[in-house]
Amino acid sequence: MSKLKSVYVCQSCGAQSPKWTGKCSSCNSWNTFVEEIREKSGSGTDVRAFAGTGSKRQAEAQLLSEVATDLTERWICADAELNRVLGGGIVPGALVLLGGEPGIGKSTLLLQLALQMENRRILYVSGEESEAQIKLRAARLGMKQDHCYVLTETETTAIFRQVEAIRPDLLIVDSIQTVFSPLIESGPGSVSQIRQAAGEFMRFAKENRVPVFLIGHITKDGQLAGPKVLEHLVDTVLQFEGDRNHSYRIVRTLKNRFGSTSELGIYEMLGEGLREVSNPSELLLTRQWHSQSGMAIGSTLEGNRSLFVEVQALVGGSAFGTPQRSTTGFDQRRLSMLIAVMEKRCGYRMNQLDVFLNIAGGLRVEDPAIDLAVCAAMASSLQDMPLAGEVCFAAEIGLGGELRPVARIENRLAEAAKLGFTKMFLSEHQQIQHPPKGMRLEKAGRLDELIGKIF
């Protein structure tokens, strides 16, 4: 027997070093090197022990024009939100990574996907839950279960033996951090194991044209655990996010070899599973506040989707010497900047006032097009004058108090019209080709001018 080889691997970026060092020279993170045993003696590097991967095909160069494009073939699943983030359905042979924080609903989403695909054979491999637990969850989702196999196993060779026996059309692995390859000696969840196991699933997916979904955990600092190496390897990276105190869940495409990365899927977590939300603005807008001051509706883009959110502001006298500035779902420094603009350019006196700002619904908004709605909400609260229920706002505000045009205004206007808004406040520089019928556009060049028009 040969000696075990060991190497130090950075757990953050996967860099290797023959000896331990405190700081990784490639990603600059500290204290991330962990000793890992590289290879088991005698096993070689042949991981083609499972079905269909035994043949070592000799690759030949082909003319690009003659390469068959089977990428157009996609399985459209029942879940329209998932189709959207995958770029139009599941591509056979694709390796998809779904990342997210614990408890956000990853297992639920993929089990639901498995149960929805009634005319295909699915194998759901779990290293985290027992068969009975999965069964309980499936019962809770209340769907047919005749076509879905479950397996609790963490060793890849054993998983591939079952795959060979069942020959599923789709394989789901929950989670990549729990599975391990016996060909490598380091523990499950380590970088080498994750890379090795993911590599084996990748080869299986490509050679058998079976789509594989891997679930991945996210570490404390928001990175996909098991780490960048995995993101490079897989075809598609989806991230499941949301505020656990709210019921919305958002699936974002971070990487997609088969489609756009600006896609977004929205779900609502209910007692009986995840519900697709095809019209998110209706969920985000309550519209029960017509007579209250400090509320304004702003337009924001999430990926390619136009959403309307409720901005709530409360501006009032401060009990202490230093006024408070507190935000939920909005950047605090941006709020400070907008307050400064309102003071300097519009003549409001706010330096002794508390300002609380909230984006209703738990969404985090980064689109600057929301600026105008934030200022309108603050002005409304300051003057204690409610805004009309059918108006909405879309403009960025500059330091000089000027209103700036926003991107993709056609999308925003169409969504506004669909939701029943009849008036939108905009920058006078905004170019609009085809304004929707029944929508009045109120344009202004500066914030003070616009506030004069609102009240």
Q: Which stretch binds ligand TYD (CB under 6 A): 14-22, 96-104, 182-190, 222-230?
A: 96-104
Residue among 79 and 415 whose Cβ is closer to Mg ion: 79
User: Minimum Å distance from CB 107 to ligand TYD?
Assistant: 3
Question: From Mg ion, ligand TYD, none, which one binds at residue 104 (CB under 5 to 8 Å depending on kind)?
Answer: ligand TYD
Count of residues near Mg ion by CB under 5 A: 1
Q: In what order do the strands lie in the sheet with 122-126?
A: 148-152, 122-126, 170-174, 212-217, 95-100, 236-241, 248-256, 264-270, 273-276
Question: From ligand TYD, Mg ion, none, which one binds at residue 272 (CB under 5 to 8 Å depending on kind)?
Answer: ligand TYD
Q: Is 272 in the site for ligand TYD (CB under 6 A)?
A: yes
Distance CA 340, CA 334 (A): 10
Strand partners, 251: 240, 265
Name which of residues 370 to 399 contact ligand TYD (CB under 6 A): none
- Select the residue interacting with ligand TYD from 93, 100, 188, 242 (CB under 6 A): 100
Distance CA 266, CA 7 (A): 43
Question: From ligand TYD, Mg ion, none, which one binds at residue 453 (CB under 5 to 8 Å depending on kind)?
Answer: none
Question: From Mg ion, ligand TYD, none, which one binds at residue 100 (CB under 5 to 8 Å depending on kind)?
Answer: ligand TYD
Q: Which stretch binds ligand TYD (CB under 6 A): 65-73, 100-108, 161-169, 366-374?
A: 100-108
Q: Are strands 148-152 and 122-126 parallel, antiparallel or unpaired?
A: parallel
Q: Which amino acid is at 127?
A: G
How many other C-beta atoms are found inside a 10 Å radius of the C-beta of residue 179?
A: 27
Among 278, 229, 333, CA closest to 9: 229
Question: From ligand TYD, Mg ion, none, which one binds at residue 42 (CB under 5 to 8 Å depending on kind)?
Answer: none
Taking the alpha carbons of 82, 84, 90, 96 in that order, is the dihedral positive or negative? Answer: negative
Residue among 107 and 299 whose Cβ is closer to Mg ion: 107
Please measure the distance between the N-terminal and C-terminal CA atoms of the chain and give it in whole angstroms: 84
Q: Which stretch binds ligand TYD (CB under 6 A): 230-238, 269-277, 291-299, 447-455?
A: 269-277
How is residue 166 written in tokens? 């069942």
The dihedral over CA atoms of 337, 343, 348, 352, expressed in degrees to the nearest 10, equals: 80
Specify whether the CB–CB gap between 222 and 240 falls below 8 A: no
Question: From Mg ion, ligand TYD, none, which one binds at residue 108 (CB under 5 to 8 Å depending on kind)?
Answer: ligand TYD
Specify whether the CB–CB gap between 79 and 116 falls below 8 A: yes
Q: How is residue 223 annotated by DSSP? A: P
User: Minimum Å distance from CB 115 to ligand TYD?
Assistant: 11
Q: Which stretch binds Mg ion (CB under 5 A): 103-111, 218-226, 353-361, 435-443?
A: 103-111
Residue among 4 and 136 whose Cβ is closer to ligand TYD: 136
CA-based angle 121:54:2, to the nearest 5?
120
User: Minimum Å distance from CB 111 to Mg ion?
Assistant: 9
Question: Helix, strand, coil: what percent of the chain each, to 5?
Answer: 25, 25, 45
Residue among 104 and 301 whose Cβ is closer to Mg ion: 104
Q: Is 106 in the site for ligand TYD (CB under 6 A)?
A: yes
Tell me phi and psi for residue 347, to 5 degrees. 80, 15
Q: H helices within 299-446, ranges in order?
A: 332-346, 371-383, 409-418
Binding track over 124-143 against ligand TYD, x by CB under 6 A: -------------x--x---
User: Minimum Å distance from CB 136 to ligand TYD?
Assistant: 9
Question: From Mg ion, ligand TYD, none, which one binds at residue 131 (CB under 5 to 8 Å depending on kind)?
Answer: none
Count of residues near ligand TYD by CB under 6 A: 14
Q: Which amino acid is at 358?
A: N
Tell me phi and psi for residue 408, to 5 degrees. 50, 50
Question: From ligand TYD, Mg ion, none, which one binds at residue 103 (CB under 5 to 8 Å depending on kind)?
Answer: ligand TYD
Q: Is 107 in the site for Mg ion (CB under 5 A)?
A: yes
Residue among 171 and 454 whose Cβ is closer to ligand TYD: 171
Name which of residues 171 to 190 contact ligand TYD (CB under 6 A): none
How is residue 339 written in tokens? 């307050």
How many other C-beta atoms are found inside a 10 Å radius of the C-beta of residue 49?
A: 15
Which residues bind to Mg ion, rule: CB under 5 A?
A: 107
Residues that bind ligand TYD (CB under 6 A): 100, 102-108, 137, 140, 269, 271-273
